[in-house]
Amino acid sequence: MTPLETVNEFIRRMTDMDLDRACELVTGDVEYDNVPMGKNHGPEGIQEILGPMVDALDEVEWIIHNETASGNLVMNERSDRFRLGDKWMTLPVAGVFELNDDGKITLWRDYFDVGTFNTEMARLMEQP
Amino acid sequence: MTPLETVNEFIRRMTDMDLDRACELVTGDVEYDNVPMGKNHGPEGIQEILGPMVDALDEVEWIIHNETASGNLVMNERSDRFRLGDKWMTLPVAGVFELNDDGKITLWRDYFDVGTFNTEMARLMEQP
């Protein structure tokens, strides 16, 4: 797989809510950087952040609007969508990925607005 | 100039605080989208948002950490730095640019955290 194909396969596994298979595509020391929130490391860092979210949600869909790649660098522009019951939330995200020469993801850095994330997540979790 | 060169020249003119010359590189109907804050249009939309900021600041420096281009699409990852007196603030940004076939910028979309921007700008503007 090219770096771009690997990133897209990673996102496919994420949206299948299959974190274990997604994490097969990252290195043991991957840096997972949610820019305004902070960094986590390793597949266990990804699982720690996203595991509880995936467990709580009913469906995940990330729409890729634009993507570019240059060497081992991939950037994409996404609408990350999450469903709980019959409610959806959408988070606009720009992502940066770096891969090593073995085709594994060593860096995943997402740019987004924390206020949007918190407001939308609260609306999603609200009891009807 | 290639699309990537045009975007970098645009940023050079921005950091020279020369909005007029920067806006020579955009189309009359350019979309300027500060994702969590909203969209503005045209060179006058860019001037309206950034003019007062540039007037108030002493120095602007945007460090490009990563950049990729594919056709008329350019994406970059930046630290946008602003100085007032002897204080600097830094805003982490991911930018998306689309150009038309004449090499003018038709879309400039920046992803960042509004909370970080507001907190840092307040710190910058604080009287000593």
pLDDT single digits (tens) A52-104: 999 999 999 999 999 999 999 999 999 999 999 999 999 999 999 999 999 99
Catalytic option among B80, B86, B101, B113: B80
Task: Tell me the ipTM for this assembly.
Answer: 0.95
What's the average model confidence in pLDDT over B71-99? 97
DSSP symbols for chain A: --HHHHHHHHHHHHHTT-HHHHHTTEEEEEEEEETTTEEEEHHHHHHHHHHHHHHH-SEEEEEEEEEEEETTEEEEEEEEEEEETTEEEEEEEEEEEEE-TTS-EEEEEEE--HHHHHHHHHHHHS--
Question: CB–CB of B68 and A69 under 8 A?
Answer: yes
Dist CA B10 CA B121 (whole Å):
23
pTM over 0.90: yes
The answer to whether B109 touches B96, Cβ cutoff 8 Å, is: yes
Which strands form B73-84's sheet, in the order they lie side by side?
Answer: B38-41, B26-34, B105-111, B87-99, B73-84, B59-70
At residue A127, does pLDDT exceed 80? no
Q: Does A110 qualify as catalytic in the annotation?
A: yes
What's the average model confidence in pLDDT over B43-55? 96
Residues of A in contact with B75 (CB under 8 A): 66, 68, 75, 77, 94
Pick the residue of B77, B99, B116 with the most A CBs within 10 A to test the interface with A by mutation: B77
Average pLDDT, rounded, for chain B: 97
Residues of B in contact with A68 (CB under 8 A): 68-70, 73-75
Q: Does B110 qualify as catalytic in the annotation?
A: yes
At residue A128, does pLDDT exceed 90? no
Average pLDDT, rounded, for chain A: 97
pLDDT of the residue at B127: 76
pLDDT of the residue at A34: 98
Residue pairs spanning A and B at CB distance below 8 A? 70
Residues B8-21 have pLDDT tens digits of 999 999 999 999 99
Residues A6-30 have pLDDT tens digits of 999 999 999 999 999 999 999 999 9
Residue B117: helix, strand or coil by DSSP?
helix
Strands B105-111 and B26-34 turn out to be parallel
What's the average model confidence in pLDDT over B22-31? 98
Domains annotated for chain A, with CATH where assigned, are 3-125 (3.10.450.50)
pLDDT of the residue at A17: 97
